[in-house]
Amino acid sequence: MNKQMLNSAVLATTLIAGSAFAHDHMKLGVWAEDQDLSGGTVTAEKLVAESNGWLVVHRTDDSNKPGPVVGHAPLKKGENEQVAAILTEEVQPGEKLMLMLHGEAGGMKTGIFEYTLGAKEDGPVKVDGKLVMDIITAQ
């Protein structure tokens, strides 16, 4: 193999690997850890959204089904880091919260959170029929 062919092969491999790396890093998701909520906020370390939307905080339990909304925060398209939502209700240590990605679609006003449990406005984002979310336990 001559030097030019080798350089072309290395470049192609690098571009493919870089593209796969970028695609994997833009995978929709919510990443959060168990945390102390005594300050009245909950923080997701990272969220990736395909469009502007919302981090929505739902109560949950061992069933891991979304319950009432107890907080939300706006998100921008792409990667969001250290997103904090103010809790609208007290959460006791040991209780579980579901931090979920919601869209900004179907409502009457852009930039105003309009979702209520079960509604379509500003509703949950799903990938392959599964909610994009993470569950934490209050410390």
Q: CATH number for the domain including 129?
A: 2.60.40
Which structural domain range is residue 132 located in?
A: 28-137
Residue 71 lies in a domain: yes
* pLDDT tens profile 66-107: 999 999 999 999 999 999 999 999 999 999 999 999 999 999
Residue 44 lies in a domain: yes
* pTM listed for this prediction: 0.81
pLDDT in the model for residue 4: 54
User: 35: closest CA among 50, 45, 21?
Assistant: 45
* pLDDT tens profile 112-134: 999 998 899 999 999 999 999 99
Residue 58 lies in a domain: yes
Residues linked to residue 112 through DSSP beta bridges, in sequence order? none
Residue 57 lies in a domain: yes
Cβ(43)–Cβ(84) under 8 Å? yes
Q: Does the pLDDT value for residue 8 go beyond 90? A: no
Q: For the chain, how many structural domains are there in total?
A: 1
User: 30: closest CA among 87, 95, 75?
Assistant: 75
